[in-house]
């Protein structure tokens, strides 16, 4: 969500006054149009190096991470990983039942959203049971997969959820916590190649604004879990990628109804930022 154009280390923005933002121009890579196929766990041994690694719980979670478009536009290799296919979610249209049918539809939606965002790496699906990530037998499998992925991809930066999960969703929280454990373990065993980890966050001001804006259209975003502004370590400005993010959201008709799409369109215009927190200075876990 929110789109992105640039970043500065340790910059904190606690206001939505866009007059305070400066414009930073960077080389833009247009990416290659074409078909996108989904990778499975059997593909993990063949994953290439990627500078950036995003670890999500469900298809559509990438719409919360607006920076992804900016990184791709800059030509940075960006691998995305989805713990589940969202098989136990709901189709807001009421057309598709839970289970394998919904998983297939949501994966198809992801492919179309990935085209809008110009993914330069095929999404990797772990196909774990939606809603069960916190169960020990599932979380053990998730950390093994994430550990193997990090070993293969050797990213410089990992993006995931924090312990608030943005919305408090248990799968978001579990995915974030397990990713943190995997990154911390990797950095402990690879002291010369430490990975930075950033957790998507929404601070109190933006959460209040989003609730007010979305409240005009829907009550679907009343469960936000904001962080205090002092926890924000990295802020990305949203200009230029808003249309692409809205186009990606539009590819998820099972997850975003028309009222939510209207609300996000309004919100992106008045609060063009995507914020990230990290428990330690600079994002590095010792």
Q: Is residue 47 part of a domain?
A: yes
| Residue 262 near residue 218 (C-beta atoms within 8 A) | no
| C-alpha–C-alpha distance, residues 139 and 150, integer Å | 16
Q: Is residue 278 part of a domain?
A: yes
pLDDT at 278: 72
| C-alpha–C-alpha distance, residues 214 and 94, integer Å | 22
Q: Is residue 2 part of a domain?
A: no
- pTM over cut 0.75: yes
CATH code, 161:
3.40.50.10320
| C-alpha–C-alpha distance, residues 242 and 20, integer Å | 19
pLDDT at 18: 28
DSSP per position, 46-61: GPPP-SEEEEESSTTG
- Domain region containing 170: 7-283
**CA–CA distances in Å: residue 45 to residues 41, 67, 77:** 8, 27, 18
Q: Is residue 245 part of a domain?
A: yes
List the chain residues with pLDDT less than 50: 1-33, 280-286
| C-alpha–C-alpha distance, residues 243 and 246, integer Å | 5
Closest CA to 172 of 76, 86, 274, 43: 86
Q: Is residue 159 part of a domain?
A: yes
pLDDT digits (tens, 9 = 90+) for 167-205: 999 999 999 999 999 999 999 999 888 899 999 988 888
| C-alpha–C-alpha distance, residues 238 and 165, integer Å | 21
Q: Is residue 174 part of a domain?
A: yes
Q: Is residue 59 part of a domain?
A: yes
pLDDT at 112: 97
The torsion region of residue 41 among left (phi > 0), alpha (psi -120 to 50) and beta comes to: alpha
pLDDT at 272: 66
| C-alpha–C-alpha distance, residues 173 and 55, integer Å | 12
Count of domains for the chain: 1
pLDDT at 219: 84
Q: Is residue 162 part of a domain?
A: yes
pLDDT at 84: 98
pLDDT at 237: 65
């Amino acid at each position: 969500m929110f789109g992105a154009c640039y970043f500065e280390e340790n910059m904190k923005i606690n206001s939505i006054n866009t007059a305070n933002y400066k414009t930073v121009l960077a080389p833009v890579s247009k990416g290659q149009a074409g078909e996108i196929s989904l990778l499975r766990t059997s593909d993990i041994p063949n994953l290439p190096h990627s500078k950036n690694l995003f670890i999500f719980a469900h298809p559509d979670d990438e719409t919360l991470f607006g920076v992804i478009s900016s990184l791709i536009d800059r030509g940075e290799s960006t691998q995305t990983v989805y713990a589940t296919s969202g098989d136990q979610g709901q189709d807001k249209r009421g057309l598709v039942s839970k289970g394998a049918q919904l998983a297939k539809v949501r994966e198809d939606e992801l492919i179309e959203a990935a085209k809008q965002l110009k993914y330069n790496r095929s999404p990797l699906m772990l196909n774990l049971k939606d809603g069960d990530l916190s169960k020990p037998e599932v979380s053990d499998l998730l950390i093994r997969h994430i550990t193997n992925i990090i070993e293969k991809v050797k990213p410089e930066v990992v993006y995931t959820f924090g312990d608030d999960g943005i919305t408090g969703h248990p799968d978001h929280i579990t995915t974030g916590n397990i990713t943190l454990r995997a990154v911390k373990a990797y950095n402990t065993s690879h002291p010369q190649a430490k990975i930075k980890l950033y957790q998507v966050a929404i601070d109190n001001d933006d959460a209040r604004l989003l609730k007010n804006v979305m409240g005009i259209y829907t009550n679907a975003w009343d469960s936000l879990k904001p962080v205090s502004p002092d926890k924000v370590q990295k802020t990305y400005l949203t200009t230029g990628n808003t249309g692409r993010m809205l186009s990606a959201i539009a590819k998820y008709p099972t997850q975003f109804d028309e009222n939510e799409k209207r609300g996000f369109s309004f919100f992106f215009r008045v609060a063009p930022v995507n914020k990230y927190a990290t428990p330690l200075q600079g994002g590095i876990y010792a």
